[in-house]
Amino acid sequence: MSLKHQFIMVDNHIESYNVEDVLEHFENNDYIINSKIDVDDDILQALIFDENGNVLKDIQFNEWGVTIINRLEIEKWIDIINEFASELGGESNNSINELEKLFVEAKISNRTIIHLGI
């Protein structure tokens, strides 16, 4: 069984980047969830961490908690996802494809993505 990360696209603008506030809003159903996907930990590790275990390209990411991915960060994530996909060559990975679709849709529709860690 692989550990999972959940990426959730919400229609709401996120006012607070405080983990407790974000989780409270989820518990109260305050966010309008547009779309969500689960990504295996091993895929995410390969995508955004270097060989030393450091997060790539100065993106904001909290592996064990909540990460709010705003418009500027979405651009960075799309670049990283595209670079990773090109390194895979002809090998298609459904999780990467779904993650790319989610981030591109969030960019186009000016939505926010929330990452919920393991």
Q: How many structural domains compose the chain? A: 1
pLDDT of 77 reads: 93
Quote the distance between the C-alpha of residue 72 and its chain's center. Answer: 13
Give per-residue pLDDT as tens, 40-87: 888 888 888 888 888 886 788 876 678 889 888 999 999 999 988 888
Tokens 């990975």, residue located:
93
**Whole-angstrom distance, CA of residue 80 vs CA of residue 59:** 10
pLDDT of 36 reads: 93
CATH label of the domain that carries residue 104? 3.40.1760
Domain extent for 18: 4-116
- Mean pLDDT value across residues 21-30: 87
| 118 C-beta neighbours (distance < 10 Å), count | 11
Percent of the chain clearing pLDDT 70 (strictly above): 92
Give per-residue pLDDT as tens, 69-79: 988 899 999 99
Coil, helix or strand at residue 93: coil
Give per-residue pLDDT as tens, 88-118: 765 568 889 999 999 999 999 999 999 988 6
Q: Starting from the edge strand earliest in sequence, which strands make up the sheet with 4-10, in order?
A: 33-40, 4-10, 112-116, 66-69
pLDDT of 92 reads: 60
- Say which residues have a Cβ less than 8 Å from residue 102's Cβ, sequence separation at least 6: 7, 9, 35, 37, 113
DSSP code for 67? E
Asked whether the beta carbons of 102 and 113 are under 8 A apart, the reply is yes
